[in-house]
């Protein structure tokens, strides 16, 4: 059985365990997180095994890219869970489910990425950027749900501190913007070495540049003047929609 298939299995097991702990309040201690770590570890084994055997990372098509982004989400969650202790534990079910679905997409993938190192840096940066922006947008969505519960004085069930969610969305959007910048830089360097010019008329590149401009404006205004928390969260959700649209519907014209 391949490491990638085992990763898919452990992701779904982790998702079920997180669901039991979150919604049925079963005392499972570190078992759900342990399964999640194991799923990520198996994906990384697959990722680097492909590189050692073929000299390329498995990110040359949509499926490989989505799988990479989903596993970066898992890595971000595990890091935040370690730093913030139990504050983000209730996100585990959602993260494990996303990890399962995205890693599952990697199973039918046949193409692999280019050997050029700038392409690898470009893809890895894009993976971190998309994962950060998606998790930041998800934090904004959860913040709205929590605030609605607090206003209605319904505090049972799933709850996360609002201040924590505000910090998460700001930190993750800033991290996403930094890596989106690196994505464009490495993409330009790769295009120069592979195609002979830094920029091509490509819908994916154009939309990525548009995303960069959008987040640059949002982050700059927030740093200089400050944006009201509700408005910032709305802008974060709008960015999430554009990011998901870019990943799901827009393809590179150069393969």
Residues 94-127: tens digit of each pLDDT: 788 888 878 877 775 444 455 666 777 777 788 8
Residues 214-229: tens digit of each pLDDT: 999 999 888 888 888 8
- Domain borders along the chain are 1-113, 116-255
Report the distance separating Cα 27 and Cα 76, nearest Å: 24
Can you give the pLDDT at residue 251?
A: 62
Burial, 234: exposed, middle or buried (Cβ in 10 Å; 0-12, 13-18, 19+)?
middle
Can you give the pLDDT at residue 214?
A: 94
Contact of 139 with 169, CB cutoff 8 Å: yes
Segment 21-40 mean pLDDT? 84
Would you say residue 153 has pLDDT above 90?
no
Q: Of 24-28, 85-89, 244-248, which gets the smallest average pLDDT?
A: 85-89
Can you give the pLDDT at residue 143?
A: 86
Mean pLDDT of all residues belonging to the chain: 80
**Which residues, in sequence order, are CB contacts of 111 under 8 Å at separation 6+?**
60, 61, 64
Can you give the pLDDT at residue 253?
A: 54
Distances (CA, A) of 83 to 1, 63, 76: 34, 31, 11
The sign of the dihedral angle between the CA atoms of 131, 136, 140, 145 is positive
CA quadruple 175, 179, 180, 185: dihedral, nearest 10: 150
Can you give the pLDDT at residue 95?
A: 84
Can you give the pLDDT at residue 109?
A: 46
Can you give the pLDDT at residue 171?
A: 86
């Amino acid at each position: 059985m391949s490491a990638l298939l085992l990763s898919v299995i452990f992701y779904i097991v982790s998702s079920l365990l997180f669901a039991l702990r979150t919604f049925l309040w079963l005392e499972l201690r570190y078992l759900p997180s342990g399964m999640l770590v194991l799923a990520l570890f198996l994906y990384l084994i697959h990722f680097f095994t492909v590189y050692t055997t073929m000299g390329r990372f498995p990110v040359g098509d949509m499926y490989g890219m989505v799988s990479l982004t989903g596993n970066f989400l898992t890595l971000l969650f595990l890091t935040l869970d370690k730093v913030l202790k139990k504050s983000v534990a209730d996100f585990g079910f959602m993260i494990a489910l996303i990890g399962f679905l995205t890693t599952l997409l990697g199973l039918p993938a046949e193409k692999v990425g280019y050997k050029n190192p700038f392409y690898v840096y470009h893809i890895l940066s894009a993976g971190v950027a998309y994962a950060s922006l998606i998790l930041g947008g998800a934090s904004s969505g959860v913040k709205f749900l929590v605030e609605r519960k607090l206003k209605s004085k319904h505090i049972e069930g799933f709850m996360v501190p609002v201040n924590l969610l505000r910090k998460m969305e700001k930190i993750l959007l800033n991290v996403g913007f930094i890596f989106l910048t690196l994505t464009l830089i490495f993409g330009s360097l790769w295009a120069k070495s592979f195609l002979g010019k830094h920029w091509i008329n490509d819908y994916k590149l154009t939309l990525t540049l548009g995303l960069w401009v959008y987040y640059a404006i949002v982050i700059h205004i927030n740093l200089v003047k400050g944006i009201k928390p509700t408005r910032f969260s709305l802008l974060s959700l709008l960015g999430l929609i554009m990011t998901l649209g870019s990943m799901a519907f827009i393809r590179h014209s150069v393969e």
